[in-house]
Amino acid sequence: MHKYLKYSLNAILVIVIAFAFLWFATRNISPTQEWSVDSNGLLQYPSDRGKLEDVKINLLEDNGTYTVEKVSFKSRGATIYCLLYMPKNADNAPGIIMLPAARAGKEGQDYLARELVKQGFAFFTFDQRGIGETGGSLPSMQNDFNSFVAGNEPVQHLFVYDALKAFDFLKTRKGINENNILIGGESMGARFAVIAGAVEKNIKGVFAISTSGYGKQSNLAMDGKFMASIDPDWYIDKISPRKLIMFHSKSDNVVPFEQAKNTFSFAKEPKEFIEMPPVCIHGQCSEMYEKLFEKLKEMAQ
């Protein structure tokens, strides 16, 4: 009798441990890091992300009409290096956060930044993790998934968090209208811009260049929840009632045009899809700037 009781207790203990592990694994919540993925696979970060830490600002250029500053701040174990293009004597400037494409650094946004700062925008861009001065190593997708299953914060989520901290910096900067900050990006950067724009409701609008989601192919099992958490297709409808604008070219040889249109179909109004000229392949090109500037001005009104 005692032998059977012992086996029964052991069996119950195994079941309890298994359910406890499953509960923690599916919640993916780290109390010390304030992040989670909900039952629908959507990434959650608090609206109050605390005070910016270790902020450093150095003037790089002052040409009389605008300044260029190097900015850095701490974000979840990394120092994020940024560039801020700021109109001089601004007291209520609209802001733009721009996330570069994969393997592209903040300096690659220089032409776009200078054109927009001349038009009165404060323009903020940064080296994402694994790139440029921010540096660091990027795990494989499999290793990032393993971190997720273990209840740790994946780097794919940290890309989004860094964009949210960029917003936290910009909204506290003197001379910038904290209620008129847009976020956008190109290619991979645009994917994280869409997610950040959906998570942070105080961002005024989102623009995306040459990007798409993954088609909502996840089944929301453990692996599916991870893919859903980094797939803009699951977030893009959460941008409404703020405006979304997508720019894409039929000549794009990286992200198929129809894939971008499919992502756009998941968005709610107000939204606008703008076909870039055929000479534009993937990402920014000079032929699309006039339309881009026009639409950013409209969004910032």
Nearest residue to 288 via CA among 250, 260, 253, 261: 250
Which residues are CB-contacts of 193 (< 8 A; sequence separation ≥ 6)? 97, 99, 163, 183, 184, 185, 206, 207, 208
CB 93 within 8 A of CB 122: yes
Q: What superfamily in CATH does domain 46-299 come from?
A: Alpha/Beta hydrolase fold, catalytic domain (3.40.50.1820)
The tens digit of pLDDT for each residue in 180-201 reads 999 999 999 999 999 999 999 9
The tens digit of pLDDT for each residue in 244-287 reads 999 999 999 999 999 999 999 999 999 999 999 999 999 999 99
Nearest residue to 86 via CA among 108, 107, 104, 71: 71
Percent above pLDDT 90 for the chain:
82
Q: Are strands 78-87 and 93-99 parallel, antiparallel or unpaired?
A: unpaired
The tens digit of pLDDT for each residue in 51-72 reads 999 999 999 999 999 999 999 9
Task: Give CA 83 to chain center in angstroms.
Answer: 17
Domain boundaries, the chain: 46-299
Per-residue model confidence (pLDDT) at position 301: 93
The reported pTM is: 0.88
The tens digit of pLDDT for each residue in 7-42 reads 343 433 333 333 333 333 344 434 345 899 998 899
Average pLDDT, the chain: 89
pLDDT classification of 224: cutoffs 50, 70, 90: confident
pLDDT classification of 218: cutoffs 50, 70, 90: low
pLDDT higher than threshold 90 for residue 297: yes
